[in-house]
Amino acid sequence: MDKLLIEGGRRLAGEAAISGAKNAALPILCAALLTREPVTFTNVPQLNDIGTLLKLLGQMGVKVSRDGDAVTLDASVIDNPVAPYEMVKTMRASILVLGPLVARCGEARVSLPGGCAIGARPVDQHIKGLQAMGAEVQVEHGYVHAMVPRLTGARLFTDMVTVTGTENLMMAACLANGETVIENAAREPEVVDLANCLIAMGARISGAGTDVIRIRGVESLSGTTHRIMPDRIETGTYLCAAAATGGEIRLTRTSTAYVDSVVDKLMDAGCDVTSERDAIRLKAPARLTSVSIRTSPYPAFPTDMQAQFMAINAVANGAAMIRETIFENRFMHAVELQRLGADIRIDGNTAVVHGVERLQGATVMATDLRASASLVIAGLVADGETVIERIYHLDRGYERLEEKLAALGARVRRLT
């Protein structure tokens, strides 16, 4: 199993390009199931999760072709509307095929995703919404089996804000008979990007980006070409890496519009952040000031950036409190950061971090995608060598990580 070796103590400086957003690309690729015409998506990142989803779509009958960051999908024939456990277990976002398959084919069998390291991610809101739209849904032998001749528009209220639930139901509603209203909808930029893609395909959607989304169903959707938005979490991660090392970087093909809450906290920590049209510049002080954060659904501070801020607070001046309100088990990286010398105390969903002068390199283990990113940041500032095990997590969400960090001056290499 591959490992990552980081020689710490080097200041990041230079320029790096941000890739397309994985969390936008996954639902948008699933949207291809809604039309018989070819669709082409550009700025698609080359990540393990993307490859898994394309393989899943291919086994359903979708013709898949890839050229660099462009992916063309032809779902004119769907002869196997099934998402088997063997594929779904490796990527929870596979549940996003459920809504499009039911809407297009009238039937779908999708495996329940199973457990997740960072906490419960129930799909009951997806099922509840499809049932309200007239689908007969049964959960049997670990699979969600949904059937309906044609979905009917309905008023849907999700009990909790769910990004994938909002996306699944929005896609399903595009081909439903009548109007669907999703209340308490997720407001994330990735939801807006999906809505923009669907609108380009002929869907009638309003309100994306607010907590009430309206979809007027149509008979069919057409093909289109759509560019995936920049990855705001990758953007935030590189900003944090530069901030922790006292660096100065310019990130291209991205925008502060997607990371306002993250930028605000980095400025509170003492960084100088400048916004350009399609780029962000950051200049960090020699040592950061600790900043407290509380995760909440967009537009508040994202849970996917919590681990990275724990890493920078570990070497900042002062103490900070981190409250995690989204997932109940998302402090597993704290124990690994402690192995590097971080002073962190956990009490339920709250972590108190006292900054130390420096961290010490050691061998640590990644537990999930964003935890991996926090360990990379810590490794970049630690004295000596840090070895991160189980880095397949990083390959799920960070395209060409070693290459981009090396271009910024880091000493990092993969061990096989």
Active site residues: 116
Please state whether beta strands 363-365 and 350-354 pair in parallel, antiparallel, or not at all (unpaired). Answer: unpaired
For 244-287, give the DSSP string: HTT-EEEEES--GGG-HHHHHHHHHTT-EEEE-SSEEEEE--SS
Residue 369 phi/psi, 5° resolution?
-60, -55
342: tokens are: 């971080």
Q: Is 414 helix (H, G, I), strand (E, B) or coil?
A: strand
Task: From 97, 20, 109, 25, select the one nearest 62 (Cα to Cα).
Answer: 97
232-244 and 306-313 are packed helices; what angle lies between their axes, rounded to 10 degrees?
0
Q: Is 374 helix (H, G, I), strand (E, B) or coil?
A: helix
Determine how many CB atoms are found less than 10 A away from the CB of residue 277: 5
Distance between CA 168 and CA 157 in Å, rounded?
Answer: 14
Distance between CA 282 and CA 265 in Å, rounded?
Answer: 13
Taking phi first (over 0 means left), then psi (-120 to 50 degrees means alpha), and beta for anything else, what does residue 328 get? Answer: alpha
Determine how many CB atoms are found less than 10 A away from the CB of residue 69: 17
Distance between CA 301 and CA 294 in Å, rounded?
Answer: 7
Residues 6+ apart with CB under 8 A from 335: none
Residue 401 phi/psi, 5° resolution?
-60, -50
Distance between CA 235 and CA 247 in Å, rounded?
Answer: 15
Residue 395 phi/psi, 5° resolution?
-70, -15
